[in-house]
Amino acid sequence: MAKELTPQAENYSQWYNDLVIKADMAENSAVRGSMVIKPYGYAIWEKMQAILDGMFKETGHQNAYFPLFIPKSFFSKEASHVEGFAKECAIVTHYRLKNDPEKGIIVDPDAKLEEELIVRPTSETIIWNTYRSWIQSYRDLPLLINQWANVVRWEMRTRLFLRTSEFLWQEGHTAHATRQEAISEAELMLRVYADFAENFMAMPVLCGVKSPNERFAGALETYCIEALMQDGKALQAGTSHFLGQNFAKAFDVKFVNRENQQEFVWATSWGVSTRLIGALIMSHSDDNGLVLPPKLAPIQVVIVPIFKKEEEFKAITEKVGSLIKDLKSKGISVKYDDRDTHKPGYKFAEWEMKGVPVRLAIGPRDLEKGTVEVARRDTMEKEVLLFVDIADKIENLLERIQKNIYQKALTFRDDNTFKVDTWEAFTDRIEKGGFVLAHWDGTAETEQKIKELTKATIRVIQFNTRSKPGSCIYTGKPSVQRVVFAKAY
Amino acid sequence: MAKELTPQAENYSQWYNDLVIKADMAENSAVRGSMVIKPYGYAIWEKMQAILDGMFKETGHQNAYFPLFIPKSFFSKEASHVEGFAKECAIVTHYRLKNDPEKGIIVDPDAKLEEELIVRPTSETIIWNTYRSWIQSYRDLPLLINQWANVVRWEMRTRLFLRTSEFLWQEGHTAHATRQEAISEAELMLRVYADFAENFMAMPVLCGVKSPNERFAGALETYCIEALMQDGKALQAGTSHFLGQNFAKAFDVKFVNRENQQEFVWATSWGVSTRLIGALIMSHSDDNGLVLPPKLAPIQVVIVPIFKKEEEFKAITEKVGSLIKDLKSKGISVKYDDRDTHKPGYKFAEWEMKGVPVRLAIGPRDLEKGTVEVARRDTMEKEVLLFVDIADKIENLLERIQKNIYQKALTFRDDNTFKVDTWEAFTDRIEKGGFVLAHWDGTAETEQKIKELTKATIRVIQFNTRSKPGSCIYTGKPSVQRVVFAKAY
């Protein structure tokens, strides 16, 4: 089994594709644009889900489930929304197959739907149509709902995890009595996402808002977290939208306020998806494979026995038994790789490829000396430690690895964030990669022009940047603050 | 807010529909046949998922995710499978909408798929097509995979939770080196389902196999758990299928065995769905609403303060603070209903409707006397208990409620299970409801004839019934054992 990856320096994009396959995370399916998420990749998603779900519930949200299909007419109700989403979507037109004596199984022409159904690309329309009957009074507000679901956006160029026609995500949809409360909710959920990205994914993010060009179709404001990948391209890792009263008006969702007057409801929506797994890979991994932050690693510690004789194997197995118990009691997930079908060197390479944060190797000499070899995945360093208090040492090491991975990604981002003030420097920097902080005159036209010329987009207009006014990098017109440009995934 | 349900005795079916709506569990959506699962209903599903998922993992299974869409041609590959599933399904034929100046948003005729995609009604075909590249050697086996997903089976007559076009489920798909191992897996998962039904849902089930007529499309044997609802109709609560080598042959999935020879792989699949929520409702609930077994109740204990003055409310709130902490530390979910918008009577009715197992009411007199009123939902009994050690008493009470609900359902089933030996007694019994144990000659024709005449089907051929041979209830021909007939959901 060849486990070598194309080196990052040679071809980053090919390195990524190799890694996803060789770390057994996902693969392309027989359905164009749809992926199969393999057990190892799915286990990472499950860890992400469990943590995020807990955060959503702590902030007062409940889960629910809405239909996969959305009547076509619903999309037309919010003008900018249909522009953004109805273009590339999967459309159900029939509800029955039949056996044709000549052609075999065919779509039954008699089973055509009166109104076509769209496979949800996002659920604002069906949910706001439902909220109409759930909300009558201010007492019914706020309504704080989240859904874990699959969605479909027909994509022509797909990449595993980063852009697939079907993907898994969560979508929060909340309803509020006031504009300010909805804005606070959208901001709160952005902070939840940033917390998750930094403290669990070990991925530093910039927080702020999108420019109007990059806003969600139907939003008044799109908040986002933006991360820098190892190849210098940006990746939007999560968005939270203040939707104003747009969907309430489109679906006629009103409530009686405390003054006994009818008002339209204020809305937010927010989501993160399996795309985060792509972000995780491109934040930390290397030419040996995946590097996972311990808090999201399905297996945090792997133990590989080194032996020739059966008695040695038995003695090692006995020795590590209590360690496994101790680690588990600390909530650390551990795998004892006792397969007799593979040699230690093969196992080492496999667990490196899969990004297991800590590997222990233990052989007959270790038993004699009361030692164990500890290898950490992030730095690839090995050291021989005394077996005494080894569970505590490992627990401590996992914490250090989590911090180190974050620190490394943060240093990388800082090293690749640039302020530029001339068009020449701008185009040069954008070409080389990284976050480029530059002045912009605030117009959609200039943003569009810059995109056409350089492929760079405004990734985020950061909160609290203390940036001084200046002159637009392209037009020279006045600018109130620097914004973050980059080429993006 | 009118909370009364149609009484069960008056119209069981209407009672069920009323309850699902009034307990805030689910509702019909704007998409024909698809339901919205509301937060309270979804919270029950989440509890079911968490428990089942743990059971699957304990028995060695891993989760993965496969595409929502299945190419039409895949269905034709397994002959009986296409018969069973391709008939009623949602078919995606196009991938783009466009704006027509006259008609508005229309399906773009230029965006027609070359091959239509079926929204998965079940995933055997796409999964076995994937397994072809995952399995080469006996070392790759067994492959023990589960998927949590939504599926669509176009239904004309739908009922919330029981039969909807889209529903949520889990589907296990395993691959094995030998026939016997696959059979053992199918049997193991049936035991897992039976364990879950009896020990968590408090719902007694009969275990056994289906007659050939009722088998899953593509299976050699279908194992099932079958429960009796309060109206005397049976409900299939879970199935586990031994698929033989049918799907391996259809999708050319072979492995090299230990003797270095190529063989087709042996398969199982097994699933339970949101239908279980319907089964849960119809096993225990009454004219006051839902009755939930404590192990699946999203809220196990609700505390209602009884007060007139603000000081009283404060004193009660202070008093119950430590109780809430104690209950939570025991893993008991508790809600303090401190809403000032509703009176205690309203709250009592609401929590009864929602099936909260234990309700505590506490007022100023209780504070003086150191007491609390404890009401249990299953029996509707109330008693006044001393506050001392109240958390322990509640923990104990929850266990007793769990057992009592199971025992009650078991007694009901026993009282409604009948052995009959004449056709007249058979038709009479079937008409009145219940499980009817009768002899059957073993032919599909007789089963079909009985179904046409009485609407009864063979629900299950039980394991280990020690039933003696006899004569078929309909044809008088020899029968090896009694089987269980009933009308079913």
Which candidate in B97, B100, B140, B144 is best for mutational testing of the A interface (most A CBs within 10 A)? B97
* β-strands B166-176, B371-376 pairing: unpaired
* Chain B nearest CA to A21, separation (Å): 12
- Cα distance between residue B80 and residue B84, in whole Å: 6
Nearest CA in chain B to A165: B67
Residues A477 and A441 in one domain: yes
| Closest CB from A70, A91, A126 relative to B95 | A91
Predicted confidence (pLDDT) per residue in A61-94, tens digit: 999 999 999 999 998 887 777 777 777 899 999 9
pLDDT at A23: 98
Q: What percent of chain A has pLDDT over 70?
A: 99
Predicted confidence (pLDDT) per residue in B372-391, tens digit: 999 999 999 999 999 999 99
Query: Looking at the domain assignment, is residue B118 inside a domain?
Result: no
Residues A46 and A131 in one domain: yes
| Closest CB from B30, B42, B119 relative to A126 | B30
Residues A274 and A319 in one domain: no
Instruction: Mark yes or no for CB contact B92/A65 under 8 Å.
Output: no
CB < 8 Å to B66, chain A: 29, 36
pLDDT averaged over chain A? 96
CB < 8 Å to A88, chain B: 95-96
| Closest CB from A29, A105, A126 relative to B72 | A105
Q: What is the DSSP letter of A448?
A: H
Residues B164 and B188 in one domain: yes
* Chain B nearest CA to A71, separation (Å): 7
pLDDT at A100: 86
State the burial class of residue A382 (Cβ atoms within 10 Å of its Cβ: 0-12, 13-18, 19+): exposed
CB < 8 Å to A166, chain B: 67-69
Instruction: Provide long-range contacts, Cβ within 8 A and 24+ apart, for A209-212.
Output: A209/A460, A209/A461, A209/A463, A210/A239, A210/A458, A210/A460, A210/A461, A211/A440, A211/A444, A211/A447, A211/A458, A211/A461, A211/A483, A212/A444
CB < 8 Å to A76, chain B: 104-105
Which candidate in A36, A106, A147 is best for mutational testing of the B interface (most B CBs within 10 A)? A36
CB < 8 Å to A92, chain B: 90-93, 119
Domain with B258, as residue range(s), is 12-66+130-284
Q: Cβ(A73)–Cβ(B108) under 8 Å?
A: no
Edge-to-edge strand ranges of the sheet holding B301-305: B334-336, B301-305, B358-362, B371-376, B382-386
CB < 8 Å to B154, chain A: 95-96
Residues contacting A400, CB < 8 A, separation 6+? none
Instruction: Mark yes or no for CB contact A46/B29 under 8 Å.
Output: no
CATH number at residue A213: 3.30.930.10
Instruction: Mark yes or no for CB contact B97/A105 under 8 Å.
Output: no
Q: Which of B400, B426, B457 is the last residue of a domain?
A: B400
CB < 8 Å to A94, chain B: 90-91, 93
Residues B172 and B312 in one domain: no
CB < 8 Å to A105, chain B: 72-73, 75-76, 82, 86
| Closest CB from B66, B117, B168 relative to A36 | B66
Residues contacting B464, CB < 8 A, separation 6+? none
CB < 8 Å to B50, chain A: none
CA distances, A378 to each of A205, A270, A286 (Å):
20, 32, 9
Instruction: Mark yes or no for CB contact B95/A75 under 8 Å.
Output: no
Query: Looking at the domain assignment, is residue A410 inside a domain?
Result: no
* Chain A nearest CA to B335, separation (Å): 13
Instruction: Mark yes or no for CB contact A29/B126 under 8 Å.
Output: yes
Can you list the residues of chain B whose pLDDT is less than 50?
1-2
pLDDT at B1: 44
Query: Looking at the domain assignment, is residue B77 inside a domain?
Result: no
Q: What is chain B's length?
A: 489
Predicted confidence (pLDDT) per residue in A457-470, tens digit: 999 999 877 778 99
- Cβ atoms within 10 Å of A330's Cβ, excluding its own: 14
Q: What is the DSSP letter of A357?
A: S
Query: Looking at the domain assignment, is residue A290 inside a domain?
Result: no
Question: What is the domain count for chain A?
Answer: 3
Helix (H/G/I), strand (E/B), else coil: B398: helix
Instruction: Mark yes or no for CB contact A88/B95 under 8 Å.
Output: yes
| Token digits of residue A1 | 């089994």
Predicted confidence (pLDDT) per residue in A352-364, tens digit: 999 999 999 999 9
Give the burial string for A200-239 (b: 16+ CB within 10 Å, else e). Answer: bbbbbbbbbbbbeebbbbbbbbbbbbbbbbbbbbbbbbbb
Q: Which of B225, B260, B284 is the last residue of a domain?
A: B284
Query: Looking at the domain assignment, is residue B51 inside a domain?
Result: yes
Query: Looking at the domain assignment, is residue B409 inside a domain?
Result: no
pLDDT at A3: 62
Query: Looking at the domain assignment, is residue A318 inside a domain?
Result: yes
CB < 8 Å to B150, chain A: 68, 149-150
Please confirm whether the linkage preceding A142 is cis (ω < 30° from 0). Answer: yes
Query: Looking at the domain assignment, is residue A36 inside a domain?
Result: yes
pLDDT at B147: 98
Residues A43 and A69 in one domain: yes
Predicted confidence (pLDDT) per residue in A435-460, tens digit: 999 999 999 999 999 999 999 999 99
Residues B278 and B187 in one domain: yes
Which candidate in B48, B58, B95, B119 is best for mutational testing of the A interface (most A CBs within 10 A)? B95
Residues A208 and A343 in one domain: no
Nearest CA in chain A to B125: A30
Nearest CA in chain B to A98: B87
- Cβ atoms within 10 Å of A102's Cβ, excluding its own: 5
pLDDT at A87: 76
pLDDT at A1: 44
CATH number at residue B471: 3.30.110.30
Instruction: Mark yes or no for CB contact B75/A38 under 8 Å.
Output: no
Residues A440 and A331 in one domain: no
Residues B396 and B424 in one domain: no
Helix (H/G/I), strand (E/B), else coil: B134: helix
* Chain A nearest CA to B75, separation (Å): 9
* Chain B nearest CA to A323, separation (Å): 21
CATH number at residue A376: 3.40.50.800
Residues A455 and A334 in one domain: no
Q: Which of B284, B308, B341 is the last residue of a domain?
A: B284
Task: Provide the ipTM.
Answer: 0.96
Region A214-225: mean pLDDT is 93
pLDDT at B445: 96
| Closest CB from B63, B64, B71 relative to A30 | B71
Q: What does residue A222 show for φ and ψ, rounded to 5 degrees? A: -115, 115
Residues A343 and A273 in one domain: no
Predicted confidence (pLDDT) per residue in A101-158, tens digit: 888 889 999 999 999 999 999 999 999 999 999 999 999 999 999 999 999 999 888 9
Q: Please check the confidence at residue A2 and state whether its pLDDT lies above 60.
A: no
